[in-house]
Structure formats: structure tokens, C-alpha cells
Chains A and B, each alone.
Chain A
Amino acid sequence: MRLHLRIWRQDSPSSGGAFVEHTVNDISEEMSFLEMLDHLNDGLTKAGGIPVEFESDCREGICGTCALLIDGIAHGPQLGTATCQLHMRKFSDGDTITIEPWRATSFPVIRDLVTDRTPLDKIIAAGGYISVNTGSALDANTFPIPAVVAEIAMDAASCIGCGACVAACPNGAGNLFTAAKVSQLNLLPQGQAERWDRTAAMVEEMDKWFGSCTNFGECETACPKEISIDFIAMMNKDYVKSKFKNQRLLSQKG
């Protein structure tokens, strides 16, 4: 296959960027999308050029490092698939493919296709945990958790933190990411003690960095783990409750 690529090239966070066209030959259908970019970079290096910077690590769709907007779609055309699991057999000879970094104000470009996604970690640091110091845990079977609850918590927990939900959202909202972690912990009995504080802290941290959710639902479609926007509704419900519950809990302390 021979492909024409329009790739966003940008030298630094402060410099401007532009699309640069590259043509690559000898693409095999068996290649993954990222192996196609490896091949491009091999050619650029040999020809004395500067390779395109992009990030990827596990290439198994689980680490969440890879993050490309392919023809305007986060992670490309195959549903439920991270960029690294997308293969060239989904494209045809002669195609022109536009490749961009995540487009979101909260994820500034560092170079070429690499962005800074640290605001996602800040949301977790604000409350995406259960406070249990090492060594103070009870026996794991102390609290039975109905299998269906554990399963739904697991659905939420399968978020890989790639940021596709933010990149796909017209508002650049971080709600699906935040809701996935809030819901995982709020569903489980272990997470009840901090439920209301957690929800308030995480939502408020999220609001510092990301746009507002208006229920477009683009995030769910873009999510490589197909996480449901139902979790956003669960988070919103808990957020509203937290504004009452926290105060009531406080008042009980007299």
C-alpha cells in the first residue's frame, strides 16, 4: 500500500504547528497503525530528516499511552479500539490520512503528536482513591460484594486514562474519565466512607481543568474500552447529593 499522510508537526509547546505531508510506500496490511508510523520514521531518519514524535508503550491497548486523532476521530475508525490495536487493513491503497494530536486546551502539545495529559492525574490525586494505609486492610472476604456490583465496578475501572473522551468532546470535558473512577469507588462498599467527599473533590478538580459536559455522548463512542456514559449520570447524582450529605454528616458531629 502507498499512503499519503498529513501529520501535525510542532517543535515545541510555544511554537506554532502545521500539517506536513509525507508519502509512505510499502505499507503491509498486517502492520499496525503505529508500525506504519515506525516505518515512516525509519525512512525519515535514513533520509536525514527528523522523525515524527508520537507516544506508545504497551501496544496491546491497555496502557493508554497512544493517543492519535486519525481523520478527526480519536483512536481512528475502529470502534472500541485504541490506536495501537488499529491495523492498516482498515485502510486502502492511495488513502490520505490526517493524523493529529489530541485536540483539547487542557492537553497542550509538547511536540508533534505528543500532548501533556497530567490534568487527568490531578483529578485522581484529588480523591480517586480509598484511604487505606498499607497494612491496615481487613481480610479481603470481610465484605461480600454482589457479583453484579463487582462487575459494574470493573466496567468502570477498565478506563485506561488515554484521554480520548476529552479529545472527542466538543467541550473538551473530562467527565467520562472522572465518572469512571468516581463510579468504580462509589459502587463498592470499601468506597462508602469517602463517597461524598471524593465525588465533590474530584468533580471540582475536574472543573478547574476541563470544559463542561453537555451530554453529547461523543466520549462514549471514542472510548477504546467502551465505557458507558451512564457513569456520568451516576457521578452527577452523587455530586448533587454530596452538597447535602457532607453538611449533614458534619452537623451530626454536633
Chain B
Amino acid sequence: MALELNPGIPEGPLADKWNNHKFNVKLVNPANKRKFKVIVVGTGLAGASAAATLAELGYEVQAFTFHDSPRRAHSIAAQGGINASKNYQNDGDSDYRLFHDTIKGGDYRGREANTYRLAELSGNIIDQAAAQGVPFARDYGGLLDNRSFGGAQVSRTFYARGQTGQQLLLGAYSALMRQVGAGTVDLRVREEMLELVMKDGEAVGIITRNLATGEMTSHSAHAVVLATGGYSNVYYLSTNAMYSNTSAIWRAHRQGAAFANPCYTQIHPTCIPSSDEFQSKLTLMSESLRNDGRIWVPKDEKESRLAKDIPEEDRDYFLERKYPAFGNLVPRDVASRNAKAQVDAGKGGGPLKNGVFLDFADAIERLGKDVVETRYGNLFEMYERITDENPYETPMRIFPAPHYTMGGLWVDYNLMTSIPGCYAIGEANFSDHGANRLGASALMQGLADGYFVLPYTIGDFLSKKLGDSPVSTDDEVFSEALAKVEAEAKMWLSKAGTKPVDYFHRQLGKILMDKCGVERTAEGLTQAIDEIEALNKEFHADVRVPGSADTINSSLEKAGRVADFFELADLMCRDALTREESCGGHFRLEYQTESGEALRDDENFTHVAAWEFNPAGEPIRHAIDLDFEFVTPTQRSYE
């Protein structure tokens, strides 16, 4: 069957598209909703909000999480905030401005209609969350407070201390648990999706493995919604949680769901560098630190004095030197690239020389320690807990780390993947962020998809299924899929090599970070594809997966996830290689302006690259054009 990739963007003026679409999609009448069963995989912001809302509407919902509780999803770690075009600050914000900032921030590689819809729904999210009891920050009059974030000239970011993701997730979780308590959502915890089950080209269910007992089970439904997050952990060291992985979306990809723009990854500039070879993950420090911190490296790579003892004349404030207008506040991608260049040149600071300094000495002198403490106290505390260094006395060390993936499963305007009946929401889809996501927009997208988009659009597909029962789990498509994943588990447990799974994951991450990370080149990417293939062979030949399949076995869980990461890594490199331009988070050294900015090739690459899995050989690239009807792509400049 030929892959059909029709985005299905509704007709009409930008601001009317979503309304027109809501009128035109087919609905399921309230009495019929209970006849439809929907599976939601993942219970983060997108999954929990979708499962709760679908159940409120009357659908029969089964929600799956591989955690012990829905509240553990990694959405919980988002710090900064959530954007909404409420214009509560009266500073000229509007849906159009939020849309425009997001499209521009994404370096004109996102879909106009989706991005506008996101902006349009942003205010409803804040209303919903506030009604749920999310304790957003408030001013002394008791009204909602806002802060500013990168890439915008208005104050539109709502926040709950540095724990906005936690509070929004707990809001969505409470809505979900309300439905669980009411018996309208069948919640399954510690169940990991291992396969998407297909019949006649449509998604009909999933196979899961219970992580506590090892039991594999078939589940069937009229539709399957994947809300399983992003894939930054392909780099091994990232700011994502330990369990975050690509397996659910990758297995859907293997069943025919196109994977869009896998090379669009966001590498965040302000993370705490690795402290040793045992480092298991990286911790993000809020971008807001760059407002008052000055970034520098020693001028001399042989510098051996402590950072605080290095005098002014021996320091290179490289961002202020290269970008006098924006200085330390250049966008994330520019800051990341420059920091990496300094460390690569041997000028890094710290015991492993793997970070650049972020110095608050000037800010403390200018503002006083109290003001700095009010602004950044909790971040300094977190930094000290991890590094045992006091940022009031000695400069912080920071280095870029993978943080978010803009790529993901290709979806149409209804958020349906190229497999009928299979949807992808939140970070799992290729999203509304183009080639780069602005701060405080991930929470917005996850919740817009889950609360307000999917619950309407899923009716368009389900209405056609009225009268059909879900495919029986006794059907051979389920027994075959079950046999396949059981055989896979056996295969892994028979691996009696010499090295643990983590060893290979770490090596894979090094290749990818080096060659498909902050900067990419044709030569490096070509090498990476070969290196990944060689390492994958070694992985299968020399990995050791101890234990058995009938209990908790984290080695077994990781083996399957890392095997999928290997395949994804290869696709990321192919995507980065074939996108012969620079845009947003994808920076090809060959394509840059004279001042070192990302140089797009709008004539040849104003499109989404959607990859089709090809069991017989190399993956197939489909280019789906992006139409810019309402905004005109321009060159970003920050000098």
C-alpha cells in the first residue's frame, strides 16, 4: 500500500481554520460514544489529558503507563512555564503574535495551521489548569502572574515556581484519576507497549508487557493513541528521564507510521556538565540564568588556576565578543554551538575541561547578593547539591545537553499518523515546533493536543466504525504479534556476551552527540551511519542480558529500547544528511551565513521529511511541502 501523507489542512483564513474544521469533522453522538474503545499509551501531559477528556466525553478508555503511577511521567520535570496568549499583561499579545513567534522560532519549518491552532487554544489550557487547582504564581492582587521567556517580546509565560511541569501534570493526573475512580478509565500501570497490532492496514490494538510480572497481554480497541514522549535519550546523556525511550513510536514506525524530521533535536545550552564517566543523565538549569550570568572561558587552554582566581584580562567572554547586541542572550542553538566550539578547542573549565563558565560575580556586585538570591536562589541550591560548588563564590559550569526532540511520528491536522486509527500526541508527534521549539511551548502543545484537539478530531475516524466491535484479541493478528514479542524477549535473554546494555547505549550516544548533535557535516554523518551499524553488530554479538522474563528485569527492558534507539539513530543521521541546509536545531557546518548563523535553503527544503520504514532495505524519504500562506520566511540574525 502506498504511503498517503495528506496533511488535511482545512480551508479558509488562518484564524478560521480550526473552527471550520470542528464544524466539518464527523462527530460521534453522545449515546454512541460508549460503544467506542480507545487505548491511550502514556500518561504524561498529553496522554493523561487525552485519556481524562475522552472518558469525560463518554468513550471507553484504557490508559497504559510503564511507570508505577501516571504521575511519574517526565512532563513532571519541566521547570520554566507554559505560554498562553492571554494578554493579561496588556503588552500587545495575541493569538497571532504567539503563532508568529512560534513559527519564527521554529525557523519556518513548522505548519502554519497547526501552530495557529496551538496559539488559539493556549488560553483555554490556562483556564482549565487553574480550575483544576494548579497553583500558578499570582501577584498581590491575586491575579495570575507572568514571566518572560526567550524568543518573545511579551510576557506570556505562566508558571508555578520552577515546577510548572509538575503542577500541570498533577492537574492532568487528578483529572485522569477522577475518571479512574468513576470507573470510566481502565488504568493499567507498569505495562509497557511492545507492539502496535495491525489488521488490514489499520491499528487495532497493542501488546504490552507487565514490567512487574513479565506477562505479555493483548489489548484491542477502535483506536490507539500514542502519547509516549520524545527520544532525546537516543544520545544516552540527555535531560530526559532514565526510562524515556522511543520504542512505542518506533514500533509504530516499523508498522508503517511515517517518522517526520528525526534530525530536529534541541540541544539546551545551560545544563550541568558530566562529572565523571559514570554520569547517568544530565540536569537542566533554567535558561533564565543567562539573563544575569556572563559566559566565558580562559583565554589560554593551559590555564591551571581556579576559575575565580583567573583575572579579567585572561578571560574570553566569547558570546559578548562575537554577538555584541545579544551577548549572553543569543538563542539556544547559537549559545550551544559556541560553547561546544570553545570546549572542543580545549578551553573548557572544570576538572574534566568539559564546560564553560557562567559567572554571577558581576551580577552580585551590581545587584547585591540578595537580589541574585531572590532571582536564582533555588537554582543555585540545586546546582550546589549536584556539584558541591557554591555559585555565589565560584562560577557555575555549563554545557549543552539534548533536551527535546521536535521530530516524531508524522501526523495530519487530526493528529492521526499515516496508520489509520493510530494517533500521536505531544512530543511523540513531529509537532508544531518546526526545527526548533521555543521555551515554555512543550507543555502548551502536550496539553492542547490532549485536552482540546484529539478529543474532537478522533471522532472523524471513529464515526466510520459505528457498529463494528474491536477486533477480538483471539484474532491471529494478536497471537502472531504476541508470539513475536515473546520470541524477542527469549532472544535477548539468550544473549550471554560480556557487556551490559548500558555500555552500548553510552557508546551509541557518544557517536550521535559527536556527529549528529550540535553540529553536523556530510562527512561526519556518513561516518556515523557506518559506526552505528558496526556498534549495532557488536551490541547483538556481545551484550549480556541476565535474569529471567517473569519478573522485573531492567536489563531486558533496556535491551529492547536500546535496539530501537540504534535504528532511530541511523534514521536521524540519514535525515540530517539529506537535509542539505541548516535550520533551527539542525546545524550543518557546510550551510551557514558569513556570521555563522543557520542558512536555510527555502527553495529546496521548505518541506517536512517523512520517512517510511522499509523492511527490505534503506528507508524511503517523502517530502511534504510546507505552504507559507500567511507569514514570509526570513533570515534570523542576532548580531
Within 8 A of B (CB), among A143-160: 143-147, 150-151, 153-154, 157-158, 160
Q: Which residues of B have CB within 8 Å of A141?
A: 88, 143-144
B23 is an interface residue with CB less than 8 A from chain A: no
A51 is an interface residue with CB less than 8 A from chain B: yes
Within 8 A of A (CB), among B31-59: 49, 52-53, 56
When the two chains form their complex, are residues B500 and A46 in contact, meaning their CB atoms are under 8 A apart?
A: yes
Known: A125-B177, A150-B136. A64 touches B77 (CB 8 A): no
> Closest Cβ of chain B: how far from A17's Cβ, in Å?
13
Q: Which residues of A have CB within 8 Å of B502?
A: 38, 42
Query: When the two chains form the complex, which single residue of A85, A160, A190 contacts B130, counting CB atoms closer than 8 Å?
Result: A190
A92 is an interface residue with CB less than 8 A from chain B: no
Q: Which residues of B have CB within 8 Å of A124?
A: 173-174, 177
When the two chains form their complex, are residues B135 and A154 in contact, meaning their CB atoms are under 8 A apart?
A: yes
Q: Which residues of A have CB within 8 Å of B21?
A: none
Inter-chain residue pair count (beta carbon < 8 A): 217
When the two chains form their complex, are residues B212 and A110 in contact, meaning their CB atoms are under 8 A apart?
A: yes
When the two chains form their complex, are residues B242 and A56 in contact, meaning their CB atoms are under 8 A apart?
A: yes
Q: Which residues of B have CB within 8 Å of A46?
A: 498-500, 544
When the two chains form their complex, are residues B143 and A57 in contact, meaning their CB atoms are under 8 A apart?
A: no
Q: Count contacts on B: residues with CB < 8 A to the other chain.
A: 80
Segment at the interface with B among A129-137, A164-172, A215-223, A235-243: A129-137
Q: Which residues of B have CB within 8 Å of A89?
A: 388
A116 is an interface residue with CB less than 8 A from chain B: yes
A188 is an interface residue with CB less than 8 A from chain B: yes
Q: Which residues of B have CB within 8 Å of A150?
A: 135-138, 142
Within 8 A of A (CB), among B120-164: 124, 126-144, 160-161, 163
When the two chains form their complex, are residues A63 and B241 in contact, meaning their CB atoms are under 8 A apart?
A: yes
B181 is an interface residue with CB less than 8 A from chain A: yes
B347 is an interface residue with CB less than 8 A from chain A: no
B132 — nearest CB in chain A belongs to which residue? A130
Known: A49-B546, A157-B170. A128 touches B69 (CB 8 A): no
Query: When the two chains form the complex, which single residue of B127, B503, B547, B551 contacts A139, counting CB atoms closer than 8 Å?
Result: B127
A86 — nearest CB in chain B belongs to which residue? B385
Max count, chain B CB within 10 A of own CB: residue among A34, A42, A140: A140
When the two chains form their complex, are residues B544 and A125 in contact, meaning their CB atoms are under 8 A apart?
A: no
Query: When the two chains form the complex, which single residue of A30, A63, A134, A185 contacts B128, counting CB atoms closer than 8 Å?
Result: A134
Q: Which residues of B have CB within 8 Å of A110?
A: 212, 552
When the two chains form their complex, are residues A87 and B133 in contact, meaning their CB atoms are under 8 A apart?
A: no
Within 8 A of B (CB), among A25-54: 28, 30-32, 34-35, 38-39, 41-42, 44-46, 48-51, 53
Segment at the interface with A among B107-115, B278-286, B308-316, B360-368: B278-286
When the two chains form their complex, are residues B276 and A31 in contact, meaning their CB atoms are under 8 A apart?
A: yes
Within 8 A of B (CB), among A103-145: 110-112, 114, 116-118, 120-121, 124-141, 143-145
> Closest Cβ of chain B: how far from A178's Cβ, in Å?
13
Q: Which residues of B have CB within 8 Å of A213?
A: none
When the two chains form their complex, are residues B139 and A125 in contact, meaning their CB atoms are under 8 A apart?
A: no
> Closest Cβ of chain A: how far from B608's Cβ, in Å?
29
Known: A59-B280, A150-B135. A120 touches B69 (CB 8 A): yes
When the two chains form their complex, are residues A45 and B500 in contact, meaning their CB atoms are under 8 A apart?
A: yes
When the two chains form their complex, are residues A45 and B544 in contact, meaning their CB atoms are under 8 A apart?
A: yes
Q: In the complex, A121→B181 CA distance in Å?
A: 10
Q: In the complex, A60→B283 CA distance in Å?
A: 7
> Closest Cβ of chain A: how far from B175's Cβ, in Å?
6
Q: Which residues of A have CB within 8 Å of B167?
A: 154, 157
Q: In the complex, A147→B144 CA distance in Å?
A: 9
Q: In the complex, A93→B88 CA distance in Å?
A: 56
Q: In the complex, A160→B170 CA distance in Å?
A: 9
Query: When the two chains form the complex, which single residue of B68, B128, B177, B552 contacts A137, counting CB atoms closer than 8 Å?
Result: B128
> Closest Cβ of chain B: how far from A189's Cβ, in Å?
9
Q: Which residues of B have CB within 8 Å of A188?
A: 133, 135
B335 is an interface residue with CB less than 8 A from chain A: no
Known: A30-B275, A58-B76, A62-B166. A121 touches B69 (CB 8 A): yes
Known: A121-B180, A126-B181. 15 other contacts (CB 8 A): A35-B279, A38-B278, A42-B503, A45-B546, A49-B546, A51-B547, A53-B554, A56-B242, A121-B70, A129-B132, A134-B175, A140-B144, A144-B141, A147-B138, A184-B133
25 residue pairs from A and B, CB less than 8 Å apart: A11-B551, A12-B551, A38-B280, A45-B555, A48-B544, A50-B547, A51-B554, A57-B74, A58-B77, A62-B76, A87-B385, A87-B388, A111-B552, A112-B552, A117-B68, A130-B132, A134-B52, A134-B53, A140-B126, A141-B143, A150-B142, A154-B135, A157-B135, A157-B170, A158-B163
- Chain A residues packing against B (C-beta within 8 Å): 11-12, 28, 30-32, 34-35, 38-39, 41-42, 44-46, 48-51, 53, 55-60, 62-65, 81, 85, 87, 89, 110-112, 114, 116-118, 120-121, 124-141, 143-147, 150-151, 153-154, 157-158, 160-161, 184-185, 188, 190-191
